[in-house]
Amino acid sequence: MSSITVVGSINMDIVAMTDKYPSHGETVFGNSMVLFSGGKGANQATACAKLGKKVYLIGAIGEDAFAAELTKRLVQNRVDTTLIKIVPNVPTGSALITVDSSAENTMLVIKGANDSLTAEDILERINTIEDSKVLLIQMEIPVEAVIQAMKAAKRKGMFVILDPAPAEGIVLEALQYADIITPNLQETYTLTGIKADSEESAIKAAEHFHLHFGMKKSIIKMGGSGLVLYDEGKTLFIPPLKVKAIDTVGAGDSFAGALACAIADGKTLEEAAKFAVIVSGIKVTRKGAQDGIPTLEEVKQYCKENGITTG
C-alpha cells in the first residue's frame, strides 16, 4: 500500500469555548477549556492515518510534557513518528484557540520547536521514504524547509498538495513545486485580493492562481458555502455537507488529509474533493482538531446512512 508523507507543525491546542469573543480590554467568562492535539502537520497526518493510510510525519517537538503527550497520541492513531525531530531546550509548539457559539474560531500560534525544522532536517528524513505517492504540506514551519520538502518530493515523483496556511508565510517559489493549492476564504483573499465568497468569485480566484502563479489545479474552499474545484481550465462547484457545525477547528486539515488519501488511492480530483467534503463535514460535528476526525469506517457508515456515494 502506498503511503503519504506529511511535513508540518505539531502543536498542543489549548481550546477555550465561549459565547462571545472579548473586545480589547474586556474580560468575559468562558464555558470550558480543554487540551487537544494539534498543529496542521499533526492534524493532517492523523486524518490520513484514521482514513486507513500509512503516513509519515516530519516535524519537530521539544522535550517537554506536551511533546510526550502529543507523540503518544500520534502513535495511538498509527502515525509513523520516527522522522520527528526532537529539539532540546525549546518548547513544543502550542496554539491558543477560542471557539464561539457559532463554532467559528480564532487562533494564536506559538511556533516553538516547529521553527527549528531546517532544510537539512527535511532532506535527511524525506530521502529515507520510498513508498509515498503524495506529499501534504503547509506553511507553519520555516519556508526553507517547505521548499526543500517540495523539491525532494517532486524529484521522487510525488503529487504535492500545498495547503497555504498561514498564507502570510507563503513565497512564490513554493507555488512552483505544488501540483494543487487548497486555500480557504481568507488565504485566497491574502494571495489574490479576491473575496471568494461565491461560486463566481471563487472561479475568478482559481483563474488568478492559474494566470498569475501558474497553478493549473486549485481548490477554493468557501467554508459552509462549499468549494470550487479548478482543473486546467475546467471548474466544478461542490456543495458542502448539510450538518450542524459545533467545532470548525481542524476542518481544513481533515479536508486536506482526506484529499491526499483519495489521490493516493488513484481517485480523480473530483472524486477526491467530494470525499474530502464528506470527511471535513463529519469532522465539524465533533470537537477536537484530531479527536473529531472520523475513521474510514465511520465515513462509510455515514455515507450508507445518508445515501451518499464517494466514487
Give 269's contacts (C-beta < 8 A, 6+ positions apart): 180, 217, 229, 231, 263
% of the chain with per-residue pLDDT over 90: 84
* DSSP label of 101: T
C-alpha pair distances (Å), 234 with each of 59, 89, 212, 274, 276: 35, 50, 17, 16, 19
Instruction: Say if residue 80 carries a ligand binding annotation.
Output: no
Cell numbers of 56, please?
509519515
The owner of cell 516535524 is 59
Instruction: Say if residue 215 carries a ligand binding annotation.
Output: no
Q: Which of 19, 121, 253, 265 is catalytic?
A: 253
Helices and strands (H, E) in the chain, number of each type: 10, 14
Instruction: Say if residue 226 carries a ligand binding annotation.
Output: yes
The whole-number pLDDT of residue 175 equals 92
Instruction: Say if residue 2 carries a ligand binding annotation.
Output: no
Specify whether 163 is catalytic: no
Residue 135 phi, psi dihedral angles, 5° rounding: -110, 130
Predicted model pTM: 0.92
Instruction: Say if residue 107 carries a ligand binding annotation.
Output: no
% of the chain with per-residue pLDDT over 70: 99
* Region 222-244 average pLDDT: 95
Instruction: Say if residue 127 carries a ligand binding annotation.
Output: no
> Which amino acid is located at 29 in the chain?
F
Q: How far apart are CA 56 and CA 275, in angstroms?
A: 21
* Region 148-161 average pLDDT: 98
pLDDT at residue 171 tops 90: no
Domain ranges of the chain: 3-20+33-306
> What CATH code would you report for 3-20+33-306?
3.40.1190.20
CA angle 82, 85, 90 (to 5 degrees): 145
The whole-number pLDDT of residue 105 equals 79
The whole-number pLDDT of residue 187 equals 95
Q: How far apart are CA 228 and CA 236, in angstroms?
A: 6
End-to-end, the C-alpha distance of the chain in Å comes to 19
Q: Are 202 and 230 in contact (CB under 8 A)?
A: no
Cell numbers of 240, please?
458542502
Q: How far apart are CA 71 and CA 88, in angstroms?
A: 15
> Which amino acid is located at 44 in the chain?
Q
Q: From 270, 286, 284, 279, select the one nearest 302 (Cα to Cα).
A: 279
